[in-house]
Amino acid sequence: MANSKFNIIIRHLVFVVLAIIFSSCASKQKTIANSTTIETSPKLIFLNYSIEKYSNGSKNIQFINKIIADGKLKKNSNKYIDEGVFGDLKCNQLDKNSNILQSVIIKNPLIKFIEYVDESKNFQTKKIKLEKTGFSLKLKLESNTKYITISDISQSEKPIKPLIKTKVNL
């Protein structure tokens, strides 16, 4: 009699283990089936430019290269400023009809601040005005972006002709 009770318990344990195994396999199959719906992954665009300021005050920007990669910006990685002043740059992502999809303000890349330690071992900051330098942009690439423009921020409210217009090929 004890042997038959033992067999019944073993059978129940085997049944429970098999039920767990089959149910875990079924849930994996659902997960695999559901994961086949692929969403378009977010993209980043990395742009490199050189900028030069001439003695008459005009600026020239040259496109160096671009890289488009899968990914998204970190929440705290926004190095762009909210409001620009005269001399800063405005970067716009445009669709095929030149509608603005995204806009960021870039601090004037021709002005650099360096820190150094003076003779009395105090930190000092010095402003350096450059005539030529390079700068890079890292942006969340909007899905309909066809062009990226960079313009000078002026003191007037009139829209300014872009310094450069870069075509984005997705």
Q: Tell me, what's the pLDDT at 72? A: 87
Q: What is the pTM of this model?
A: 0.68
Query: Reduced to 3 states, what is the DSSP secondary structure of residue 161?
Result: coil
**What residue ranges do the domains of the chain occupy?**
1-38, 43-167
Q: What angle do CA 69, 48, 156 make, to 5 degrees?
A: 115
160 confidence band (pLDDT: 50, 70, 90): confident
Q: What is the pLDDT of residue 159?
A: 61
Task: Give the number of other CB atoms < 10 A from CB of residue 59.
Answer: 17
Let me know: does 93 contact 139? Beta carbons within 8 Å.
yes
Q: In this predicted structure, what is the pLDDT of residue 147?
A: 96
Q: How confident is the model at residue 157 (pLDDT cuts 50, 70, 90)?
A: low
Per-residue pLDDT averaged across 93-122, rounded?
Answer: 93
Place of tokens 């969340």: 140
The answer on pLDDT for 133 being more than 90 is: yes
